[in-house]
Structure 1
């Protein structure tokens, strides 16, 4: 019996131990879940931890950390607004502001430590603020949602970036106009359908791209004005229940106005969609410029030579000079178009107000901004440092490019243009049949086509005269180009005075 009693006691002890361990594990697990819930801004109503795969997909801190400066700025301004309502005392405001300044200093010095529980930049900053100043940090989010917080942060960030991009465009246009002024008399073929068309000035070609970029700059300024609307104070969607002075808060944050409808404010990403579309168009303009220069820089054209600093070599062929920078501009334009198309597809199916799908906005915005900064500077550098071969440009001019001038000559003799166009075409056909240049046709040959031709037709075979006749506003004559340069100079001065 003694042995049986001992076994019974041993079994009971083991059961008690196992029960104790099980209870302890449950308590420990519960504490882990509670700790996780406490670390989240939204965890109070959940009883289990988030799936690791959802946690990874849901987290945006790996890219929206770039909004740290804007998030701290928004929090400082919102804290001041809360103090004016009485939610915060002056002492609490001072503590919060000092804590936010420390958070800002850590980010600036690259000493901010992101934790695995930091879902996004807002969570990270609030978590760190609480570590620094304690529970009073929890008052900062009163009446505020990440919905209106992120929309505000993004508008501030993009507003500053749009100013930077516009300054790059202005610098590029200045480079183009300076070059056009220096090289105003260089003649080259103008092209349609990539076929030689009419003689033009190299400076006129340069300015055609400057006008594209000027339009891009003006569109960006208009977009910036439309994006100058503060969503903060809209809450999650219904608004702010406390007497926050939103117009004063907007002024504090540098906005000109507040969003008029809280539901629209938290779900509005038109400013991102517009920016992506703007970037598409500007990138297309840069891509077309790049394509021209790739062609002009080939040995088949030989009009320009890229500087070494904007060329690359081949890993196999030692003689190669590749225009990789220009090609990357063309390629990046396609990537930007993809970002725009992708984000528009995200917006298409969303119900109103905030949906987590909108988290896709930031990567598109950051990537496109980075791309535009790069390609604007590369394009400006390539144009500013290339060498023009004026002799090669001129040698590409051929008399058949003056066929339109022959028609104009006949118009000045009183012939209807449609008839003159037909006669000029017959002159072209005659020269081709005789296998000579149009300028080599004799007066007898020309008169066989039309009696309107006289000795002064010889004046048509002059490329300088051909270009100079286009004196109407916007034409390729040197006087018209001078007008364009004056217009561009004045516009750049006006832009500089506004900045």
Structure 2
């Protein structure tokens, strides 16, 4: 493609080192769509005849059909997806194919392709996030009122419900959807027509091209349009946060499925065994999700480091944005599919959760609130309950089985109704603030998500 300037062919090692077609072939559909829109603008500008445009359009669509049928041979010598498609088009239709690249560069071409790719994959990922939310909402509805200990510092803290716990992840995933859609809005501008750096003296209808490709607008600075990879970094960040949320869910389920907790059981289809220990049932999906999240962080870091020192505009370093992007998209999408399937098949061991949530220590804060309602300042109430907890631990007597005399010996502020605090149903009913895990709040939020995700 540049033989006019050079007297020697590119060395084999340089070709191998610099090729990107082994992975950027994934952009083929977007490259072809962009080329057809570009050819349409050439037609409107009088640079192509109707026959030439039809030949280019039909030739590109025939190339796409061969790619999708697995009949296209990618050439490393042609470096990338763009030149492979253009070269094959020219071979098939002749001189008209050689006109296609007029008024564009591979710089604005690849910038357009990757924006189209990111837009499509954001849409696909959002749908998978909704599927994951649906699986969590369905499971939360099934166990909406199943009580379970909530934890801070991985120590039993206060009672919640399985429904409330799982809905926390639905909220997280909703923020992921919002982040991705916000990223989509920012990236949906067309750089095509920016050329290599400074546009072209052959001015095509950039707005018309943008509209045909579904962009909201065109970029306003040709140098920024070529150099910009913010949208890739932003998308990689959003995908990394999706991984964070799936990893946190994975850690919860790993703990819940352990013999020490025993709160949940994953299906045989979503667990593996041991080659040595026949009793093992390992939560490998959860562990792999937790591990793959590190790759998502690495991909984000790789692109940010590649971009951070680049002067304007295009530098070959930017070729290194594709593999991390493709890998993060594939990793997150597969993770969402398998985790949604796994959650849908999960069972909660309600007898075990009920036994765990019956620990009266979980209501120690409620006991402090009881004293506050009797006029005791919270810090004093906290201390008085701490003394009751210490007595419970020292005597081996559950907190709810300390006698009234023992409580009043600690403080006369404890009344005859002190033991009513340890009624779990009453404790949940008192949590009426929005966002608290009472039955009415959970039911309202379940109804909200069921309607939104329908």
* Superposition TM-score tier, normalisation by shorter sequence: over 0.9
Among 459, 476, 480, the alignment partner of 2:441 is 480
Aligned to 2:368: 407
Contact 1:201 1:467 in 2 (8 A): no
Aligned to 2:149: 189
TM-score (norm 1): 0.89
Contact 2:132 2:336 in 1 (8 A): yes
Q: Distance in 1 between matches of 2:61 and 2:363?
A: 70
Aligned to 2:387: 426
Moved over 4 A (4+): none
Contact 1:296 1:302 in 2 (8 A): yes
Among 420, 423, 438, the alignment partner of 1:459 is 420
1:53-202 matches, cutoff 5 A:
53-202=13-162
Aligned to 1:227: 187
Q: Residue 181 of structure 1: CA displacement?
A: 1.6
Q: Residue 118 of structure 1: CA displacement?
A: 2.0
Q: Residue 57 of structure 1: CA displacement?
A: 1.0
2:313 aligned with 1:353: yes
Aligned to 2:356: 396
Q: Per the alignment, in what secondary structure is the counterpart of residue 73 of structure 1?
A: helix
The change in CA–CA distance for 1:116 and 1:444 in structure 2 (over 3 A counts) is closer
Aligned to 1:368: 328
Q: Distance in 2 between matches of 1:291 and 1:187?
A: 19
Q: Per the alignment, in what secondary structure is the counterpart of residue 414 of structure 2?
A: coil
Among 292, 296, 310, the alignment partner of 2:252 is 292
2:338 aligned with 1:338: no
Q: Residue 490 of structure 1: CA displacement?
A: 4.2
Higher gyration radius (CA) = 1
Contact 2:299 2:324 in 1 (8 A): yes
Q: Distance in 2 between matches of 1:410 and 1:293?
A: 36
Aligned to 1:317: 277
Question: For each residue in 1:401-459, what CA deviation from the matched residue of structure 2 results, as whole angstroms up to 9, or x when unmatched?
Answer: 11111101111111111111111111111112222111111111000011121221111
Contact 1:346 1:358 in 2 (8 A): yes
Aligned to 1:491: 452
Q: Distance in 1 between matches of 2:240 and 2:172?
A: 13
Question: For each residue in 1:218-275, what CA deviation from the matched residue of structure 2 results, as whole angstroms up to 9, or x when unmatched?
Answer: 1111111111011111100101322311111101111111111111001111110001
TM-score (norm 2): 0.98
Q: Distance in 1 between matches of 2:76 and 2:300?
A: 31
Contact 1:85 1:242 in 2 (8 A): no
Aligned to 1:417: 378
Among 433, 437, 442, the alignment partner of 2:398 is 437
Question: For each residue in 1:307-343, what CA deviation from the matched residue of structure 2 results, as whole angstroms up to 9, or x when unmatched?
Answer: 1111011111111101111100001000110111111
2:231 aligned with 1:271: yes
1:22-33 matches, cutoff 5 A:
none
Q: Residue 297 of structure 1: CA displacement?
A: 0.3
1:17-56 matches, cutoff 5 A:
41-56=1-16
Question: For each residue in 1:374-424, what CA deviation from the matched residue of structure 2 results, as whole angstroms up to 9, or x when unmatched?
Answer: 111121112111110011011112111111111011111111111111111
Contact 1:226 1:271 in 2 (8 A): yes
Q: Residue 182 of structure 1: CA displacement?
A: 2.1
Q: Residue 116 of structure 1: CA displacement?
A: 3.8
Contact 1:280 1:333 in 2 (8 A): yes
Q: Distance in 2 between matches of 1:484 and 1:94?
A: 54
Contact 2:103 2:204 in 1 (8 A): no
What residue ranges of structure 1 are gaps of 5+ in the alignment? 1-40, 494-499
Q: Distance in 2 between matches of 1:485 and 1:260?
A: 45
Count of matched residue pairs:
453
Contact 2:21 2:75 in 1 (8 A): no
Q: Residue 478 of structure 1: CA displacement?
A: 0.8
Contact 2:19 2:76 in 1 (8 A): no
Q: Residue 276 of structure 1: CA displacement?
A: 0.7
What residue ranges of structure 2 are gaps of 5+ in the alignment? none
Q: Distance in 1 between matches of 2:426 and 2:12?
A: 75
RMSD: 1.1
